[in-house]
């Protein structure tokens, strides 16, 4: 579902930064950061917490899926590996710690606290309720749309990010050039992403 009201980057940042509950804040920051569909961050709506994780359509993002890496030019980045719901293929979102430590800290604290396992082994409904509590009568999918827009229009980095880079990080399924992503594919555009930061 499309967003109902557009929120600029600074407005989203202000709302996320003001959240006191650390679990809620970490979940919403992670969802926004990785441009996640809610069923990619928590358990997919068809996956029951009572069933075996090996049978799940889309398991939640795990602590091991969030890493610090270096680009070919040696710049430090945070990557989030996401299993794209519609393609069942992995993609990676990139964050620049120099630019967005405010966004990384809440979910990185959760990653450190749990060590291994799923970041938010919760239901889609839980995710929707948490979003509603802080953003009101929107739709949690708005976080994905806002992040994509903020990258495309340059609000995140100070310069617009090329649509192909944003599409690869967000797992858009409409591109004919869509590829299967793994941990190595990210590096052919990571320096371009970081280079956009002024």
DSSP states along 39-94 = HHHS--TT--TTS-GGG-SSPPPBGGGEEEEE-TT--EEEEEEEEETTTTEEEEEE
Which residues are bridge partners to 70 per DSSP?
A: 76
Instruction: Specify the DSSP element, H or E, that contains 38.
Output: helix 38-41
pLDDT in tens, 114-127: 999 999 999 999 99
Burial of 138-167, coded b for 16+ CB within 10 Å and e otherwise, reads bbbbbbbbbbbbbbbeebbbeeebeeebbb
Who wins on pLDDT, 133 or 184? Answer: 133
We find that the CATH architecture of domain 9-195 is: Orthogonal Bundle (1.10)
Q: Is pLDDT at 134 greater than 80 in this prediction?
A: yes
DSSP states along 142-196 = HHHHHHHHHHHTTTTTSSPPPHHHHHHHHT-S--TT---B-TTTTHHHHHHHHHT
pLDDT in tens, 20-75: 999 999 999 999 999 999 999 999 888 888 888 888 888 999 999 999 999 989 99
pTM, entire model = 0.86
Quote the DSSP letter at residue 95.
E
Distance of CA 140 to the CA centre of its chain: 12
Angle between helices 187-195 and 163-170 (to 10 degrees): 120
């Amino acid at each position: 579902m499309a967003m109902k009201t557009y929120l600029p980057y600074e407005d989203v940042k202000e709302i996320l930064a003001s959240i006191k509950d650390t679990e809620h804040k970490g979940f919403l920051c992670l969802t926004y950061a990785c441009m996640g569909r809610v069923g990619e961050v928590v358990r997919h709506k068809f996956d029951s917490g009572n069933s075996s994780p090996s049978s799940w359509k889309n398991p939640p993002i795990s602590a091991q899926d969030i890493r610090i890496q270096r680009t070919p030019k040696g710049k430090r980045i945070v990557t989030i590996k996401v299993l794209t719901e519609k393609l069942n293929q992995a993609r990676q979102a990139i964050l620049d710690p120099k630019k967005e430590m405010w966004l990384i800290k809440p979910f990185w604290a959760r990653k450190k606290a749990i060590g291994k396992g799923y970041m938010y082994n919760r239901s889609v409904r839980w995710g929707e309720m948490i979003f509603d509590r802080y953003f009101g009568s929107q739709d949690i999918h708005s976080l994905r749309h806002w992040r994509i827009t903020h990258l495309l229009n340059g609000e995140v980095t100070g310069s617009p990010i090329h649509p192909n880079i944003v599409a690869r990080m967000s797992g858009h399924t409409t591109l004919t050039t869509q590829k299967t992503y793994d941990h190595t594919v990210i590096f052919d555009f990571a320096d371009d992403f970081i280079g956009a930061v002024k």
